[in-house]
Amino acid sequence: MRDLKSLVLRKAIHAVMALSLAAPAVILPKLPESLFPLHRPSPAEVYGLLMIAAAWVNALRVKGPAIEVTPEELERILQRTPVGQRVDTAVKWLDSKIRQLEREYERRAGWVGLMYGAIGVGVSYFLFGWNFLWGVVALATTDVASAVVGAYAGRLRMPFASTSTVEGTVAGFLAILPVARLFKDPVSAVLLSAAAALSEAYGVEDNLEVPFVVSGLAWLMPRLGLGVP
């Protein structure tokens, strides 16, 4: 039960972070010009910087900082001042929460979910324009529902899948379907929902593949004469 609670909390944070990835394209252009005295960054610039920052954070997590300071030495330095003590306390609290939420392979290989999520959404924006929003929606709905339902009620393994379950995949499909139906015709909504659920079930890294596959399909369908744009 504790593992399930951690999963639900991690996926809730995941959904919020996924939706926030739409902000550079959706919210940034609407902000007042006075907030940008030097230069209003374009969404493309923000996504480019976001991908670099996510990759850097992951590299820092894997390789560690380039300075010769042990955690014990850093703690002693921080403890010398009241401000440093508060920073040390906050860092320890944040580290404990991250360790509770990060997946096992992220303890070994770094925060690949953070990096690949930024890359998946950023590349989808560059390649597919506003269709990238469907990838964001899929990350916030299908990814979350598939993981939680699969962990709690998953019994039947998906064919040829190592961990994905039929129950989780169906839940992922149903999670995005109502949203897709609000903006798409029935056939397009089903196709997008199926693409989200299957890329989640069979992907190597869902944060990378789900936004790319779903956004790509949303971009491709009108060009093939399928549904409405």
Radius of gyration of the chain (CA): 20
pLDDT exceeds cutoff 80 at 72: no
| Tokens read off for 220 | 């491709």
pLDDT, residue 100, reads: 53
**Cβ partners under 8 Å of residue 204, min gap 6:** none
Task: List, for residues 19-39, the tens digit of each pLDDT value.
Answer: 899 999 999 989 999 889 888
Task: List, for residues 141-184, the tens digit of each pLDDT value.
Answer: 998 899 889 888 888 999 988 889 999 999 999 999 999 999 99
Please tell me which residue, 17 or 67, carries the higher pLDDT value: 17
Domain map (residue ranges) of the chain: 2-28+41-66+111-223, 67-103
pLDDT, residue 1, reads: 52
Three-state SS for 165? strand
Please tell me which residue, 87 or 185, carries the higher pLDDT value: 185
Of 26, 20, 218, give the one whose Cα is nearest residue 136.
20
Could you tell me the maximum CA-CA distance found in the chain, to the nearest angstrom?
67
Task: Report the Cα 155 to chain-centroid distance in Å.
Answer: 26
Please give the Cα distance from 165 to 151 (Å, whole number): 9
**Cβ partners under 8 Å of residue 217, min gap 6:** 134, 191, 192, 195
Of the candidate ranges 24-38, 66-80, 101-115, 185-199, the one whose mean pLDDT is the lowest: 101-115
What does the CA dihedral 130, 31, 182, 18 come to, rounded to 10 degrees?
Answer: 70
**Cβ partners under 8 Å of residue 143, min gap 6:** 11, 14, 15, 18, 172, 200, 206, 207, 210
Mean pLDDT of the chain: 82
